[in-house]
Structure 1
Amino acid sequence: MTVRVMLISPAMNAALREARFAGDASLDDSGLRQTRAAADTLPAADRALHGPSLRCTLTADALRIDSTAEHALRDWELGRWKGARLDQVSASEPDGVAAWLADPATSPHGGESLLELCARAGAWLDSLDDSGPGRVLVVVEPAVVRAAVVHALDLPPQAFWRIDVAPLMLTELSGRSGRWNLRCGRPLTPGQGS
């Protein structure tokens, strides 16, 4: 059965601007304005979900999506690094950050490894086969979008670091477990994209 999964990254917030690890915070005024302006640009969907973070929940609300929180779509669990800025962690734990970036099986922060994140996102994606065909609209953190793309295209885990996901970007995967196609991201802003 063919499924179309439309992944939307949440709007900008202060934690994203400050390059914080899993910085779950409210949307800032700019992010909220952009999200509300994009509400009429959403594709049609049969069902809608969102990651459980505050940022995903508020983005879904501002987009006027009637969606349900899905725990499997939570942000990357980064243990003791959660909420810290990348530059701070790089200064205090340079060897840990280097290992984390180089080895997808390591988790020096005490949370999930990259391999575990990709497996979790992939298991959720593949589970959609059981729910029948249709169009699924999902608001999820950029790390989850990247992990889903890595899984769907059977890319090496290191490709995760080479995928950019901007705020309010729509990335589409269509197909089924073992055979997914990617439509690269387009902005959810009026007058841009197609």
Structure 2
Amino acid sequence: MSIFTSRFILEIDPYSKHFVFNLPNTWETRPHEYGWAKNFAETEDIVLDAACGLSHPLKFYLADKCKEVYACDIDGRILSKSSILKDIEDTYGTVIDDSFLKHSFTPIHFSQSSLTNLPYQNKSFDKIFCISVLEHLSKEDMEQTFKEFRRTLKDQGLLIVTFDYPAINLEELKILLDKVKLKFHGDYSFDKPDNVLVSTIWGELNCFRAVLIKD
């Protein structure tokens, strides 16, 4: 099945238990989310990791793969190198070496910002990644966030997202996407198979992946 198909993530999907770092066991769906999202990182891409978190590894993976990497988060500590490195050590028990700093940390352009008001020019990015974030937004903020993603995405760019279900209603999401002039890239399915991946740490949740483009 194509990586471009928007659907629920399944137990049998590829996953990356080691993704820059050894991921904590409590991150039940994240290895699968990263295992899918990494397929979209290409060498000539200018990319954004939106609401990147301090220690979350996607931005560091992208820094090794892509031409230019931007990362933003609402947490003010995102502008503090020492705070990010401490959070990495606290999360993974990893001691940071010079090679990591040179290849995976230093190239990243960090910004503190809300997703509803991104500090980037129109049509800046080939890809925008937003992993397990949307479910934490109000409906109003989600709508404005999608508008900002659309504004900062290049005309042929891709928006790569994952989010928790049923925290986000898929039919309501489809209506919202129509409103903000985004659409699924290629095939999509809202059917939930028997072998759907389940997360139990915050209640019984499933993870949906989506590839979006400008309508």
Same fold, TM exceeding 0.5?
no
TM-score by length of 2: 0.32
Higher relative contact order (CA 8 A, sep 6+): 1
More helix by share: 1
TM-score by length of 1: 0.35
